Amino acid sequence: MYRTNTCGELNLKHAGAEVTLSGWVQRSRDLGGMTFIDLRDRYGITQLVFNMEADDALCKEARKLGRECVIQAVGRVRERSNKNLKIPTGEIEIEVNSLKVLNASILPPFTIEDETDGGDDLRMKFRYLDLRRNPMKNNMELRHRMAMEIRNYMDGQGFIEIETPAMIKSTPEGARDFVVPSRINPGQFYALPQSPQIFKQLLMIAGYDKYFQIVKCFRDEDLRADRQPEFTQIDCEMSFAGQDDVLNAFEGLTKHLFLRIKNMTFNGPFPRITFNDAMDRYGTDKPDIRFGMELTEITEYTRGRNFNVFDDAEYVGCICAENCASFSRKQIDQLTGFVKKPQIGARGLVYVKYNKDGTIKSSVDKFYDEAAIRKWIELSDGRPGDLLLILAGERVSTQGALSELRLEMGRQLGLINKDDYAPLWVIDFPLFEWDEETGRFYAKHHPFTSPKTEDISLLDTDPASVCANAYDLVINGVEIGGGSVRIHDKSLQQKMFEKLGFTDEQANEQFGFLMEAFRYGAPPHAGVAFGFDRWVAVFAGCYSIRDVIAFPKNNSGRDLMIDSPSALAPEQLKELRLKIDNRE
């Protein structure tokens, strides 16, 4: 038996008890005739004490133990003279009478403390050491706790978790698939699922009216901080359900998680705003509504004053930063620099200072008289002391830039409380998205999303204006999940594929089995999928999903710890009937 107790549970009630503990040496210090060792395991830290006077040999042995050594110590619990009330075990210590080194440790490449000196690459390469740190451990435990709460809540609501296959079929629509060559079907490949979308729809057709699954999904795309080639989705689908049923069901889940994980309650339903409103008011379809500073469009009040930048712009809009009229030239220049960064993409920033004394100062004074500028202020609900920040250009990209500027101002002004959570639903997304590059429509959500019934007639005449039964859950500016009411009618699905530029043959080859399934009594159904990694990251207060994944890959899709991907043995390639094509 390696231990009678963990390092996180002993307290004064155990005083006098003989115990055995096992764990890692967190740190040790020698004070005169005494040696103190903080012994760590998953549950906490317990102080071991060795007394030179009582056992000279044992104490000397203890002094040899380096950080991260794994030891087993037997001893008696006693009250500590110098108590540490910050930790549950801080009132006691163990007077050790025997010690065993279970495994030694060489010096770790970085410090295993809450704040570490290890860089990203080093932490990834020695991930098993990084995972020993409290912040990582807390994230892993949070992730587990959230998964448990999700499953128990969904189960309690009558949902059934069904595993869908991980080796499916490649479809060129959407993001790139990872593929898996089949050895027993030479020249053929499976694909790893980007989502279980089609399978969950087939489960609805199979009659499992409330399905969920916490499931790995895969997407071969270029990576960034919140993307990983493999990620985890909370995948859900309901039959005989419309948009409200889904929103209500998963608002229930969301509130449950907030209650059980963050001890937060929300009164009344989450706000629901349409995609168009979100764009107009926040410049983004994933608004952070923890603070105001909404966008105001002033396009029509800027025309005809010979200021070409505004005259030529499809859209002129602003945000009103409270009490910022006193911003210095340098501060304004910094904001101008911010919006001109390539990833923001504005060409310049116009400001209006509505000074405390009621006077006005603007960078476009010479084009606009005071009345005109006061109109902008009025439209933005500006008060004396406020600063208007104005961007102009193509509508969507300028709204996007204003959104980024709004978030930047929110951060600078301390308007964003990181302990505050503001969930909302964004609804009524457009069905299609036009792609300039390929000159065709793509499905904004996916090709199985249904148009609003009243818009079906627009499919042929004005596809861009067709509204979808699609919705997203957004928390603090992060898209946590999204879904839609699905098409369950074969002819409508066919029409949808046609609008997306599929030939009948392509549609049949790729999705024929789904359309065939629609012929055997497909019920109306709708669903949603949440990004589990992102949700955990939002609850953990982490910027990157990497911090909530035990063994993530880096931006080149590499696992630095196991050094993967890697070359295959020639016999493996031969068995798979594959050759590497090195030509460009």
> Strand 18-31 relative to strand 70-79: parallel, antiparallel, unpaired?
antiparallel
As a whole number of angstroms, the distance between CA 199 and CA 213 comes to: 11
Of 326 and 564, CB closest to a second copy:
564
Q: Report how far residue 402's alpha carbon sits from residue 317's, in angstroms, rounded to the nearest whole number.
A: 8
Which residues make beta-bridge pairs with 236? Answer: 212, 528
> Is there binding between residue 566 and a second copy (CB under 8 A)?
yes
In whole angstroms, the minimum distance from the beta carbon of 462 to a second copy comes to 28
Select from 12, 160, 259, 456 the one that contacts a second copy (CB under 8 A): 160
Task: Give the side-chain half-sphere CA count within 13 A for 527.
Answer: 33
CB of 20 or CB of 51, closer to a second copy: 20
Task: Report the chain's terminal Cα–Cα distance, integer Å.
Answer: 60
Shortest distance, CB of residue 127 to a second copy, whole angstroms? 7
Q: Which is nearer to a second copy, 443 or 522 (CB)?
A: 522
Residue 202 touches a second copy, criterion: CB under 8 A: yes
Amino acid at 331: Q
- Identify which range of 87-95, 213-221, 273-281, 352-360 contacts a second copy by CB under 8 A: 213-221
Asked whether position 557 contacts a second copy by CB under 8 A, the answer is: yes
| DSSP strand pairing (423-427 vs 272-274) | parallel
Q: How far is the CB of 358 from a second copy (least distance, A)?
A: 56
87 binds a second copy (CB under 8 A): no
Backbone conformation region of residue 95, classed left if phi is above 0, alpha if psi is from -120 to 50, else beta: beta
Q: How far is the CB of 401 from a second copy (least distance, A)?
A: 30
Helix (H) or strand (E) holding 202: helix 197-205
Among residues 472, 471, 469, the alpha carbon closest in space to that of 486 is found at 469
List binders of a second copy among 165-194 (CB under 8 A): 165-170, 172, 176-192
Residue 76 CA to residue 83 CA, distance in Å, equals 17
Among residues 27 and 574, whose Cβ is nearest to a second copy?
574
| DSSP SS3 for 421 | coil
Instruction: Name which of 250 and 511 has its Cβ closer to a second copy.
Output: 511
Query: Do residues 515 and 198 touch, judged by C-beta distance below 8 A?
Result: no
- What string of H, E and C letters represents the secondary structure of 390-420? EEEECHHHHHHHHHHHHHHHHHHCCCCCCCC
Site for a second copy in 301-330 (CB under 8 A): none
Residues 105-134 within binding reach of a second copy (CB under 8 A): 105-106, 108, 126-129, 131-132
SS3 for 263? coil
Question: Exposed, middle or buried, 55 (CB in 10 Å: 0-12/13-18/19+)?
Answer: middle
Shortest Å distance, C-beta 155 to a second copy:
5
Name the one range near a second copy by CB under 8 A: 216-224, 288-296, 366-374, 417-425.
Answer: 216-224
| Tokens describing residue 529 | 């999928």
Question: Does 147 help bind a second copy (rule: CB under 8 A)?
Answer: yes
By beta-carbon proximity to a second copy, the closer residue of 8 and 385 is 8
**Contacts (CB under 8 A) with a second copy, residues 430-489:** 488-489
Q: Which is nearer to a second copy, 465 or 555 (CB)?
A: 555
**Closer to a second copy at the Cβ: 53 or 520?**
520
- Please, which of residues 515-544 interact with a second copy by CB under 8 A? 517-524
102 binds a second copy (CB under 8 A): yes
Binding a second copy (rule: CB under 8 A), the pick from 371, 461, 556, 570 is 556
Least distance in Å: CB of 494 to a second copy?
Answer: 15
Give CA–CA dist 408/348, Å, rounded. Answer: 16
How far is it, in rounded angstroms, from Cα 351 to Cα 365? 10
Residues 4-23 that bind a second copy (CB under 8 A): 22
233, two tokens:
């989705």
**Residue 265, burial from CB neighbour count under 10 angstroms (0-12, 13-18, 19+):** exposed
Cβ proximity to a second copy: between 267 and 556 the closer is 556
| CB distance 237 to 204 below 8 Å | yes
Q: Which residue has the tokens 């990157």?
A: 544
Strand partners, 351: 389
Q: How far is the CB of 181 from a second copy (least distance, A)?
A: 7
Phi, psi of 235 (to 5 degrees): -105, 130
Of residues 339 and 522, the one with the C-beta less far from a second copy: 522
Q: How many residues bind a second copy, per CB under 8 A? A: 122
One symbol per residue from 220 to 259: x for binding a second copy (CB under 8 A), - otherwise; what is it? x-x------xx-x-------xxx--x--------------
Q: Can you tell me which of 163, 300, 419, 454 binds a second copy, judged by CB under 8 A? A: 163
What does the alpha-carbon distance between residue 162 and residue 165 come to, in Å, rounded to a whole number? 10
Token match 């505004």: residue? 310
Choice between 90 and 242, CB closer to a second copy: 242
Give the HSE-up count for residue 23: Cα atoms under 13 Å, Cβ half-sphere. 24
CB of 292 to a second copy, least distance (A): 36
Q: Look-up: residue for tokens 């500016």? A: 477
Distance CA 222, CA 191 (A): 18
Min dist CB 491 to a second copy, Å, is 12
CB of 50 to a second copy, least distance (A): 19
Among 161, 280, 322, 408, binds a second copy (CB under 8 A): 161
Contact positions with a second copy (CB under 8 A) in 339-398: none
Residue number, 329 or 519, with CB nearest to a second copy: 519
Q: Give residue 101's Cα distance to chain centre.
A: 41
Question: Judged by CB, which is closer to a second copy: 513, or 543?
Answer: 513
Q: Stretches 146-154, 271-279, 324-332, 392-400: which one binds a second copy (CB under 8 A)?
A: 146-154
Choose the stretch contacting a second copy; rule: CB under 8 A; options: 143-151, 321-329, 403-411, 449-457: 143-151
Q: Which of 49, 401, 537, 549 binds a second copy (CB under 8 A)?
A: 549
Site for a second copy in 32-71 (CB under 8 A): 40-42, 68-70
